[in-house]
Chains A and B, each alone.
Chain A
């Protein structure tokens, strides 16, 4: 059966939680069908609860903010750059000076269209901008410009894979529906100095373009959520629409979590924020699911609240409400006309191409998405599917692999072993990226060629590689010569050596 990935998690979580689990009853079919059951179908250790009722079905939806990779902000000409001196990248508009107006950045729109297409969305040919009002120190205008009513892209899907029980050999593929992608402004950053009880505001980030990707609640555990986000991240990076580095806040994930019994409506959900790594995403979601189950089993209720993930404590804690119940008083943004996009059919003949965005044009130029790249790798090189995942998971590794394959006579199936077992593990050990590797693809190819031509043994090849890591600029051949690691193929030479050894013996 597919996907038992979550089961293990539940068991562990359960053991840490209150009460001994004991073998639960077999899971009843749920309205969410196989998947929900599957998710809870691990070895009877599902959190069935003391009550002995059917197990809980966790429901996880995600709201992901991806910072658009662009030179300038969504509505102003100010530069976008990470870790610049505070308030050095702020236009008059970003600081909300009176009388300034938003001017939509074409690049941001294109990035959103690309992302929408890559996520199988339908692109709205007409989308609208709205103002969302709330008072906060890092929101200078008192409102955020977003797309509440008609977003740029809707109704998409994302397929992602995850491995079962952490075994690379057992991969399953899932699909999550994408509700919408909307363009919106990022806020600035507030830094609270509690000792001096003041708040410092940095507006460098204020107005940077974001794509908010809303995923429907089609996931049921942290691992699924993390896998979906990881796939999204790869897609964004492949498209170049976002650098999507979580540590730099370019990809921010909020998780909506609830649990319910099979056949019952969804439970009250909480929103978990402050998740800043993929690992914490899985942890936070699983913690929250577990917390809700325990709360409910102890007779408590779940509050519709926002909770923050505390990565040090490994748990979620309620966030203090800023303004009580928020009414964002949405209103159409009057300074931006509707965003009109065209396709080949609707494109007016005499339109200046600089001024219009053609969806079909963008579609034709989409790069291969990770899933396609993986398939191609498997097909072209005959490597295992799970190896294709590993190749794509490391930035630049697939390219490295392909270059090596091109330069050697060695079979790709053999090359992959060197890439994954030797190169990758070395890089991981030394915390290096593929680009930082001291051994270039050319050097590795040279080395593998020596091996393939049987000029050296595979033991010798490892020795050479160990030498190559030092990065002293020697070629594999030079190292082989220096250390005399060649395999001897000349019959005469071999005889001579043998003779020499024998002679030596005799002399003694």
Chain B
């Protein structure tokens, strides 16, 4: 039961001595083992985690814990550098790569006594929306094995085939979302470039926060799109997200794009008076493909605010519909550039081909990257060619500005927070999901989340209800730049109203064998 507690609850328990950091760590490690089939973790750092837990325990014994995070088991997406622990980006290119330094966010967690359990699974280099396209195989959504899903989903075939009914986590931070959702850790770091934290948070029924661009350091986060990447926070509740934000945010001299001002951590008040609050409902988010039950949930949520006295207004973000195509150009261009460093010389995979430096480069990159990464590199380089730069890249930058300006206008009109769905539907079964290619899927799945990245705005997924199939559905709140406190306060109020049910995980050990088989086939594909 302790593992199901929120971060703040378990922190209190640690302080009162109801549980020790080592016990907590061991229990998490045991649960990670028994839920191995979820494939949420790429690396479990058992030894260092236990060592960190022991050190934390000593601090508690001396009565000098480092703060609320001391002794709290956390997980980190495997695209953040961790000194001494493999950082793979779920790619052959970085398999076995051990970074000599910690990402700033990782260092901050460790400095505050957190226990790092391991590195979580993702799409290769965070390029994807399913957590299905990594070299270590897909992540399984813990809700696939929940009582809620099993009761409601009509089995298409008999129980021996139930392995085909499991649903995806969304992505690309699917491992982190699954880890928090399955209680193997109390908080996890993801990254969010086009929705990669909020999307899996929605599908896994956890809180997923994408802070304002520049609020949290990207130093040590292996980039996807530098101008949009933000470290994401995945927790069980909004209060916990505020705790993590408080411990991670602020200027980092190693990241010139972080804000100069100091960040003051905050506690979230309980909102009682909503009469001064103005909630905007962007009409463009009635996107094609939005499931009717999510649409219904969305308007129910709007009503909830209206009934509580808030002003709810329809607003327009006319350029949001160009977001996907614009993102495609900007993302692939930066990917092409960022991936240029992986040439096999300094680190990472190096091909045996030795005829010439050029042939070694080519073979290294062919062997090291999957089709998705290579495809994006190719299109990105195309957009950056001298003859195409103005036509595509510069134009995309202009469209990006228009998208961002839409938000500015809406917020200037008096709207405080935007309320939108996070995803078009609940999580798709894996077998269904892989029918479409990565590009199509990403384009569909990011549609509701991406504009916030374009504009650099803070946004959060709050788990809202279960779908007809018994799977989580979340709604998204988008706030003003650097107004995380307001955003989270409103999210917390909403969270309290909707009382999202806790996942009821069934005994799951029997899945172990079949998953291991699957993992093998995935990593050789």
Q: Which residues of A contact B (CB under 8 A)?
A: 92, 95-104, 131, 133, 135, 137, 140-143, 199, 201, 327, 329-331, 334-337, 355
Contact = CB atoms under 8 A, between A and B. Distances in A.
Contact of A331 (B342, B343, B393): B393
A199 B358 CA distance: 12
A327 B381 CA distance: 10
A327 B361 CA distance: 18
Contact of B341 (A102, A142, A330, A335): A142
A336 B256 contact: yes
A137 B357 contact: yes
A100 to B, nearest CB: 7
Given A133-B337, A135-B361, A331-B333, A99 B221 contact: yes
Interface residues of B, number: 46
Interface stretch (B129-137, B270-278, B384-392, B501-509): B384-392
B357 A199 contact: yes
A330 B340 CA distance: 13
Contacts of B218: 101
Given A133-B340, A143-B337, A334-B334, 20 more contacts: A97-B81, A97-B347, A98-B81, A99-B80, A99-B103, A99-B223, A101-B218, A103-B256, A131-B337, A135-B361, A137-B357, A142-B337, A142-B343, A329-B386, A330-B389, A331-B334, A331-B337, A334-B226, A335-B226, A337-B257
Contacts, number: 100
A334 B255 CA distance: 11
A9 B255 CA distance: 54
B189 to A, nearest CB: 13
B340 A98 contact: no
Interface in B310-348: 333-334, 336-337, 339-343, 345-347
A185 to B, nearest CB: 14
B497 interface: no
Nearest to A104: B256
B101 interface: yes
Contacts of A137: 345, 357
Nearest to B386: A327
| Across the A-B interface, the 9 shortest Cβ-Cβ residue pairs | A142-B340, A329-B384, A334-B226, A334-B227, A96-B341, A98-B222, A99-B220, A141-B341, A99-B81
B345 A355 contact: no
B288 interface: no
A99 B345 contact: no
B260 interface: yes
Which of B253, B339, B346, B386 counts the most A-chain CB atoms under 10 A from its CB?
B346
9 contacts: A96-B346, A98-B97, A99-B103, A102-B256, A137-B345, A141-B340, A141-B341, A327-B385, A329-B389
Given A101-B255, A330-B389, A143 B340 contact: yes
Interface string B253-286: 1111100100000000000000000000000000
A141 B337 CA distance: 9
A133 to B, nearest CB: 6
Interface in B49-104: 80-81, 87, 89, 94, 97, 99-101, 103
Contacts of B361: 135
A431 B219 CA distance: 51
Interface string B84-126: 0001010000100101110100000000000000000000000
A135 to B, nearest CB: 6
Contacts of B345: 137, 140, 201
Contacts of A135: 340, 343, 358, 361
Contacts of A101: 218-219, 254-257
A481 B87 CA distance: 80
A434 to B, nearest CB: 42
A329 B381 CA distance: 7
A340 to B, nearest CB: 12
Contacts of B385: 327, 329
Nearest to A102: B256
Contacts of B101: 92, 97
A97 B343 contact: no
A245 B340 CA distance: 33
A195 to B, nearest CB: 16
Contacts of A355: 260
Contacts of A201: 345
A392 B339 CA distance: 49
Contacts of A95: 346-347
Nearest to A138: B345
A98 B221 CA distance: 8
A98 B99 CA distance: 9
Contacts of B381: 329
Contacts of B97: 98
A331 to B, nearest CB: 6
Interface in B224-269: 225-227, 253-257, 260
B256 A335 contact: yes
A136 to B, nearest CB: 9
A140 B341 CA distance: 6
Contacts of A330: 384, 386, 389
